[in-house]
Amino acid sequence: MKKSVFLGTLAVAGLAAGLASAQSTLEQVQARGSLLCGSNEGLAGFAAPDANGVWQGFDVSLCRAIATAVLGDPQAVEFVPLTSQTRFTALAAGEVDVLVRNSTWTYSRDTDLNLDFVGVNYYDGQGFMVRSDLGVSSATELDGATVCIQTGTTTELNLADFFRVNNITYEPVPVATNAEGQQQYLAGACDVYTTDVSGLAATRATFENASEHVILPEIVSKEPLGPVVRHGDNDWGDIVRWTLNALVAAEEYGVTSANVRELAAAPTANPEINRLLGTEGELGAMMGLANDWAVNVIAAVGNYGEVFEQNIGENTPVGLARGLNAQWTDGGLLYSPPFR
């Protein structure tokens, strides 16, 4: 009898989940009044709670931007910390509305896992961090090293490829989270910590003696990190994609959190800015949002450049240069399609 009760409960739960997914993600978010954002369990500069328990960071800002676009409130976000192993399952199962968690856009994730990567908010690559007193200057000198690696990541596969192609050996030490990897690396249980360079920089920023650790020059992979949504709900994907594009376009056109209200007060001479800020045309309505959605977003979190400088830029402990993440006009890869 117990068994049938259990099975019954499962079936009912399954049915409930089935019914819930009949609603579109946008409707669900609006009905709930908050956005469920899958985030890192703690990566300084990208997503980590601050001293007051408020989530801060580069990825967090994108979540807040989406919440502002949909709900008009940057605080209407519930952050769901996910490990690298659980993140895609959680997204596919509907536990989060959008995943902004340093996730690399790959072919199989986009197709086989039935997820949609709607853009790239950080162009990254995999690197290696070692103690500077090891005297290692290149990753090809790492023959026989012990490497801490987060399981369930693309870096795990790149690592295997890199060492195999260079015909050198290594000993993988699998860890579940960045915090665990950091602890193992600092204890010396592994010689090398490998993940995306941005993650290495963010991790190193939290070390007591950051200068005793070097990030080796080799970048062994392409890691385009971006927000992910479930496949099939294209309207929701559009909202996330164009929120990100709005941040990028705002920087390109010189719209900042400081001047956005002023620029939105009346149509300006630049029609691109007018369409972005809703003073010309009905672009917001096309996505089912208010016409001034982009104004609220930029006023709340700032444009892409502001978000970058505030969280991971050169004046922060993480200290990342713009590099590939500069605007296309400055020789970077950031290029928003036109708002038209």
Partner 1 sequence: MADVTEPPRESFRLSQLLYDSRYRSLTIQVVAAMLIMALLVELVDNTVTNLAALGKDIGFGFLWTTAGYDINQQLIPFSSQDTHARAAVVGILNTLLVAFLGCILATVIGVLAGVLRLSKNWLIARIMTVYVEAMRNTPLLIWILIVFAVMTEATPQPREFREGGSASMILWDSVAISNRGVYIPRPVWAEGSGLVVAVFLLSIVGIFALRWYARRRQEATGQQLPVLWISLGLFFVPALLAYFVMGRPVSLEYPELGGFNFTGGVQIRNSFIALWLALSLYTSAFIAEIVRAGILAVSKGQTEASFALGLQPNRTMQLIILPQALRVIIPPLISQYLNLTKNSSLAIAVGYMDVRSTLGGITINQTGRELEGMLLLGIFYLITSLIISALMNLYNSSVKLKER
Binding site for partner 1 (CB under 8 A): 1, 3-4, 7-8, 10-11, 14-15, 17-18, 21, 84-85, 88-89, 92, 108-109, 112-114, 134, 142-146, 151-152, 156-157, 159-161, 163-164, 170-176, 184, 187-191, 230-232
**Cβ proximity to partner 1, 3 vs 340, nearer residue:** 3
Which residues have CB under 8 Å from 117's CB, separation 6+? Answer: 103, 105, 109, 110, 224, 226, 227, 228
Both tokens of 20, joined, read 């819930």
Sign of CA dihedral 115, 120, 125, 130: negative
What's the closest the beta carbon of residue 110 comes to partner 1, in angstroms?
11
Closest to partner 1 by CB, 4 or 52: 4
- Closest to partner 1 by CB, 55 or 163: 163
For residue 192, give the DSSP letter. E
Q: Closest separation between CB of residue 89 and partner 1, Å?
A: 6
What are the backbone angles phi and psi of residue 109, rounded to the nearest 5°?
A: -65, -40
Phi and psi at 104, nearest 5°, equal: -80, 135
Nearest distance, CB of residue 321 and partner 1, angstroms: 30
**Structure tokens, 205:** 């920023």
Report, in Å, the least distance between residue 151 CB and partner 1: 5
| Torsion angles phi and psi, residue 319, rounded to 5 | 65, 50
Q: CA 322, 200, 77: angle at the middle one, nearest 5?
A: 75
- Given the complex with partner 1, which of 180 and 309 has the nearer CB atom? 180
CB atoms within 10 A of CB 312: 26
Q: CA 140, CA 148: separation in Å to the nearest integer? A: 16
Query: Phi and psi for 98 in degrees, rounded to 5?
Result: -145, 145
Shortest Å distance, C-beta 99 to partner 1: 14
The residue (of 127 and 305) whose beta carbon lies closer to partner 1 is 127
Maximum Cα–Cα distance for the chain, whole Å? 74
Separation of alpha carbons 294 and 31, rounded Å: 21
Looking at beta carbons only, is 123 or 163 nearer to partner 1? Answer: 163
Smallest gap from Cβ 81 to partner 1, in A, equals 17
Task: Give the nearest distance from C-beta 38 to partner 1 in angstroms.
Answer: 15
Name the residue nearer to partner 1 (CB basis): 177 or 311: 177
CB 239 within 8 A of CB 98: no
Task: Using the minimum distance from each CB to partner 1, give the nearer residue, 19 or 51.
Answer: 19
Minimum distance from residue 257 beta carbon to partner 1 (Å): 38
Residue 126, classed as helix, strand or coil, is: strand
Rg (CA), the chain: 21
Cα separations in angstroms, 202 against 12, 37, 134, 330? 43, 20, 21, 24
